[in-house]
Structure 1
Amino acid sequence: MIFRQLFDSESSTYTYILGCPRTREAIVIDSVFEQHARDAALLRELDLQVRYALDTHVHADHVTGAWLLRQHLGARSVLSCQAGVEDVDVIVDQGDELAFGDLRVEVRATPGHTDGCLTFVTGDRDMAFTGDCLLIRGAGRTDFQAGDAHLLWRSIREQIFTLPDDCLIYPGHDYDGRTVSTVLEEKTFNPRIGGEAREEDFVGYMQNMNLPHPRLIDIAVPANLKGGKPDDDQASAEADWGPVTVSFAGIPEIQPEWVARNRDAVLLLDVRSEGEYAGELGHLQDALLIPLDQLRERLQEVPRERPVVTVCQSGKRSAMAAQILIKAGVDRAANLAGGMIQWDRLGLPVAAG
C-alpha cells in the first residue's frame, strides 16, 4: 500500500493518504482546507486518483478540505450517518466498507468525542485511523458537540482495543510530535484508559479536564457542517494569470508549453550565469538575465507589471529564484518546469547563444 502521513502545524492535525499501487486509486483521511495545495501536489506526484475524502468526525479545530477534494480532484466525501452534515456523497455506519482499487477500509462507529465519530481500519486490520477517539496516550475530549465519556469508553474498549495488539494506531492529532502507536501500547500505557483503568476512572478523568474550547470552533464547526464548502464557493489559492501548480516542495511551477504560447504576457527571468546564458542551450528571447547569486541584491531591476517566470538549466536554481521573488512580495511568480533542458527537449524556440 502507498501510505503518507502529513501534518498541519496550525491545528496539529494529521492527514493520511492511502493508495492502491496497482490501480492508483486513493483515499484521503482528515484533510485540512488550507493544506489542499500541498495534498493535491503530492497526489499528483504520486500519480494517485482520489476516490474518497473521509472525515473521522465534524472537526472543531480546523476546516476540512473535503469540498476542495471534491471540486478539484473528483473525490466523494464520506461522513458518519450521525454527523448531521449537509451535502455528503457517502453516508456510512458501523460495518460498512470502502474500496479503493485492491484495498479497502472498514468503518467502525466510535462515538463519544462527538456523536458522529468514526474509526477507519484497513482490510487486514494492521492500521487504524482513530481520529479524535483514541489519541496517542490520550483520548478526545467529551465536553462539547454531544460528547459522552461513558460512550467514548465503550467505543475505545469495544471497537479499538479489540483489534490485534500489533495494529498501528494513527490518530487525528498529536500535540507533542508523536506519530504512531499500537493497540497494545495504548492498552498498556494510556494514562486515561489503559492498564487497570475502569470506566469510572476514565469518566472521572475526562469530566475534569477543564480545557478551553478550540480557538477556531466558531469557524470550523459551521464550515464543516457544510462539508468544508466556503461561503463564496471559491478556492482562493489558485493563480489568476496562468495554470500554475504548486509542487509538494511548495514551488509554484508552470509548464513550458503554456509559456511558449504566452510569452508576451510574462516576464522571463533567467538566473543562470552569463556563460550558460550564451551557451549550448541558448536562452529565451528577451529574457532578463540576473544570475541567482545576484538576485537578492538586484530585486529592484525585476519589473512587476507582468507575472515573472524564472528560468535556469534544469529548473532547480530557478525554483529558488521563484521563492526569493515571492518572499520579496512578487506574488505572481512561477518556475519554468524542467528549465531549458525541458524547453529544448520539446523543441521550443530559443535565441542562439
Structure 2
Amino acid sequence: MLIFRQLFDQQSSTYTYLLADSVTGEAVLIDPVFEQVRRETALIEELGLRLLYTIDTHVHADHVTGAWMLKRHTGSQIAISAASGAEGADRYLSHGDRCEFGARHLQVRATPGHTNGCISLVLDDETLAFTGDCLLIRGTGRTDFQHGDARAMFRAVHQQIFTLPNTCLLYPAHDYRGLTVTSVGEERHFNPRLGGELCEDDFSVHMTNLRLPHPKQIDVAVPANLKCGLATRDPTQMAEPEWAPLTYTFAGIWEINPQWLEENLRAVQIVDVREPDEFDGALGRIPAARLISLGDLADRAAELTKERPIVTVCRAGGRSAQATVILRQAGFEAVANLAGGMLRWRAEGRVVENASG
C-alpha cells in the first residue's frame, strides 16, 4: 500500500509530499522546505520509514530546500534535474528516469518553462503526478526569470501532463488560495491560461503580461538552492536540546524519556498540570512535582524560573503537551512533555509519592 502525505509550509505556501511503500518502509520526499525539516524528520520517524531520496522539482526562488539538512539528519540522497545547474546532488535526473522506493517508483518527466530545469514526477500507475511549479491549480508557474520560457511550458504541459489520464490527480508545489489538488481532466478544461481551446500564442501573450513582482526570497533562495541547501544558515537551528535526550514529535512537541527524568528529578522543575484532586489521587505524583493546573498555567508561569528546564506532566500526556505550548509562549525554551503522563509513569513502575492505587 502507498503511504502518501501532503504537507504545507505557510510562509512560502509550499507543498511538500511524502510517499512511501508501506511494506518496505522506503520513502521519498518531494520539495522539502528548510524550516520544516524538523517536522518532516519527526513524521518519517513516527511512521517508521527510511528516507531514500529528497527530490526537488526545480531550483526554487521562494524558499530554501531542506534537501541538504535532511541528508545530514537521515542519510537520504539528494536528487534534482540534470538541467537545473545545481551542485552537490547525489543524483541528477533526466527525462524518463525512475526514482524507486520499495515496489513503487516515480517517473521523471522534463517540464521546463518556469525554469529550464523543471521536472514533474508521475507515480507508476499514473494515478498521481507532482507538477512542481509547472502546472498549478487553475494556473501555471511564472516564466519571467531563471531561463523561463512560456512556449516551452505550454508544450511541456500539453505533451507531458495533459497526456496522462483525465483522472490522474495533480499535486503542485504551491497554492496561495488553500487549494490542495486538481486533476488532468479539470485542468484540460478549466485552466484559464492554457486549458480548453487556448493555443500557444494565447499562452505566451498572457504570460508576458503578468507583471508580477520578483519573489521576496529570490536573492537568498536561488544561490542556496543551487547548492542543494548547503550551509544556508546556522545548522544549529536543527540542534537537539542539550539538557536531556528529547524526542520531537510530528505534533511539534518535545518529549522526555521517563527513565532519564527519574534519574534526574532534582535537575528540572516538574510541573503537574492536573487538577488538585488528581494530584492527590490514586495515581500519585512524581516526587518534587509542583501543582499548577493547566487552566492557571498562563497566569502563573512567572512563578517558574528559566534557570532550570521544565518537564510538564498530567494523567495521560495530552494536557501536559498543551502546557509546553503555553510555557513556550511565555518565553520558556527548555521545556518538555512527559509523554503518556502518570499512567505510563506508573505502568513502568517508577517512583511516586502519595499513591493509593
The one-letter code matched in structure 2 to 1:190 is N
TM-score by length of 1: 0.96
CA displacement, residues 165-215 of structure 1 (integer Å, 9 cap, x when unaligned)? 111110111111111111111111111111111111111111111100001
> Partner residue of 1:261?
263
1:200-219 map, 5 Å: 200-219=201-220
Q: Contact conserved, 1:68 with 1:235, CA < 8 A, in 2? A: no
SS at match of 2:35: helix
The one-letter code matched in structure 2 to 1:307 is P
> Partner residue of 1:49?
50
Q: Contact conserved, 1:78 with 1:91, CA < 8 A, in 2? A: yes
CA distance in 2, matches of 1:226, 1:264: 46
Q: Contact conserved, 1:141 with 1:206, CA < 8 A, in 2? A: yes
Q: Please, what is the CA RMSD of the aligned residues? A: 1.4
SS at match of 2:22: coil
C-alpha displacement at 1:288, in angstroms?
A: 1.6
Counterpart of 1:352 (choices 342, 351, 354) is: 354
> Partner residue of 1:285?
287
> Partner residue of 1:248?
250
Gapped regions of structure 2 (runs ≥ 5): none
C-alpha displacement at 1:231, in angstroms?
A: 4.5
Q: How many residues align?
A: 353
> Partner residue of 2:5?
4
CA distance in 1, matches of 2:346, 2:312: 16
The answer as to 2:68 corresponding to 1:67 is: yes
CA displacement, residues 263-321 of structure 1 (integer Å, 9 cap, x when unaligned)? 33321111122332232322211112212222222212212211101011111111111
C-alpha displacement at 1:345, in angstroms?
A: 2.0
> Partner residue of 1:13?
14
Provide the identity percentage. Answer: 53
CA distance in 1, matches of 2:301, 2:12: 35
The answer as to 2:106 corresponding to 1:105 is: yes
Which deviates further from its counterpart, 257-266 or 26-35?
A: 257-266
1:313-332 map, 5 Å: 313-332=315-334
Which deviates further from its counterpart, 156-165 or 37-46?
A: 37-46
SS at match of 1:236: helix
TM-score by length of 2: 0.95
> Partner residue of 1:167?
168
CA displacement, residues 7-51 of structure 1 (integer Å, 9 cap, x when unaligned)? 111111111111111111111111111111222222222222211
CA distance in 2, matches of 1:12, 1:317: 31
Q: Contact conserved, 1:30 with 1:64, CA < 8 A, in 2? A: yes
Q: Contact conserved, 2:276 with 2:293, CA < 8 A, in 1? A: yes
C-alpha displacement at 1:130, in angstroms?
A: 0.3
> Partner residue of 2:125?
124
SS at match of 2:65: coil
SS at match of 2:152: helix
CA distance in 2, matches of 1:151, 1:211: 19
SS at match of 1:341: helix
The one-letter code matched in structure 2 to 1:273 is E
C-alpha displacement at 1:331, in angstroms?
A: 1.2
